[in-house]
Amino acid sequence: MNYRHAFHAGNFADVMKHVVLVRTLLYLARKDGAFRAIDTHAGIGLYDLSSEEAERTGEWRDGVARLEAPFAPEVEELLSPYRQVLDEVRASHGHAYPGSPFIIRALSRPQDVSVFVELHPADGDVLAARFKGRGVKVLRLDGWTALHALIPSPERRGLVLIDPPYEQPGELKRLAAEMVKAWRKWPTGVFLGWYPIKDPGAVAEAAGILRAAGPAKALRLELMVDAPDDPSRLNGCGLFILNPPFVLKEEAEILLPALAARLARSTYAGFRCEPFGREVAPG
């Protein structure tokens, strides 16, 4: 309950997470049928980068602010829809950054359904006031409880973004276990589980849980902006993805090295794009 994303909005982790989220939403929108997007730890959906919280950490300066200069054409082609959302936010809200609920709504169609879950009382009130109307629901629930209560959805297709605050010990291991249970309950859904990279051993343990569950298709994406040798700081971030869009691996192999080079804190930059589902022999 103490985590407030306003201090971290627009940082390198947001950039990586939201670029992948955009690519996944675009893939789901290729078919005319409706999809459902569920955000289990939604926050407030939009963040003022001139606020006291954002200015106190300044994390956005080493994140989204570094994207101003263009990338190579093949990277820009994939980044373009994400940049369009950023432009829409700046045009309507000034110096602000979109959270995942804003991105989901920006890329949803009239037939699609969005469900945003937030437990924090103040953030939940802001979220509910900000997102109203047809096709959107805002719920005040524990994100882990909501994950299982909201699936399977009436729409066969959809995605679930799971982005917990990681305030409790063992939450990364819990992410893997909860993703396995959710995938078994809704095998046609796309599940994106975000995680911080501080202790590589904890990440490897979580990846092992997912691998042992035997999903047919799974992808592990990571972005490193510093050497993983100090477990007290955030050196990178990642996404475990179950049922990833078939084009996502190829897209990530273009996007992640470019983002790593641009967002690196020093001379160290790294990325991972690793399939680990049942269709891929363990390496």
pLDDT in tens, 121-180: 999 999 999 998 889 999 999 999 999 999 999 999 999 999 999 988 899 999 999 999
Domain boundaries, the chain: 5-275
The count of other CB atoms within 10 Å of the CB of residue 104 is 26
- From edge to edge, which strands make up the β-sheet containing 113-117? 136-139, 113-117, 35-39, 157-162, 190-197, 236-242, 218-224, 270-275
**Residue 204 to residue 152: CA distance in whole angstroms:** 28
Q: Which two tokens stand for residue 180?
A: 């396995």
Q: What is the pLDDT of residues 61-117, one digit of tens each?
A: 999 999 999 999 999 999 999 999 999 999 999 999 999 999 999 999 999 999 999
Structure tokens at 200: 């590589």
Residue 173's nearest CA partner among 138, 137, 212, 222 is 212
Tokens of 172: 């990364």
- The 3-class SS string of the chain reads CCCCHHHCCCCHHHHHHHHHHHHHHHHHCCCCCCEEEEECCCCCCEEECCCHHHHHHCHHHHCHHHHCCCCCHHHHHHHHHHHHHHHHHHHHHCCEEECHHHHHHHCCCCCCEEEEECCCHHHHHHHHHHCCCCCEEEECCCHHHHHHHCCCCCCCEEEEEECCCCCCCCHHHHHHHHHHHHHHHCCCCEEEEEEEECCHHHHHHHHHHHHHHCCCCEEEEEEECCCCCCCCCCCEEEEEEECCCCCHHHHHHHHHHHHHHHHCCCCCCEEEEEECCCCCCCC
pLDDT at position 171: 93
Residue 282 has pLDDT above 80, yes or no: no
Mean pLDDT for all residues in the chain: 94
In the set 123, 163, 199, 230, the catalytic residue is 163
Strands 35-39 and 157-162, sheet pairing: parallel
- Global pTM value: 0.95
- Residue whose token pair is 């849980």: 209
Percentage of residues in the chain with pLDDT exceeding 70?
96
Dist. CA 8–CA 12, nearest whole Å: 9
245 pLDDT above the threshold of 50: yes
The pair of structure tokens assigned to 65 is 């602010």
- Phi-psi region at 94: left, alpha or beta (left = phi > 0; alpha = psi -120 to 50): left
The pLDDT tens digits of the residues spanning 259-281 come to: 999 999 989 999 999 998 765 54
State whether CATH 3.40.50.150 applies to domain 5-275: yes
Q: What pLDDT, on a 0 to 100 scale, did the predictor assign at position 283? A: 38
Distance CA 19, CA 39 (A): 15
Annotated catalytic, 163?
Answer: yes
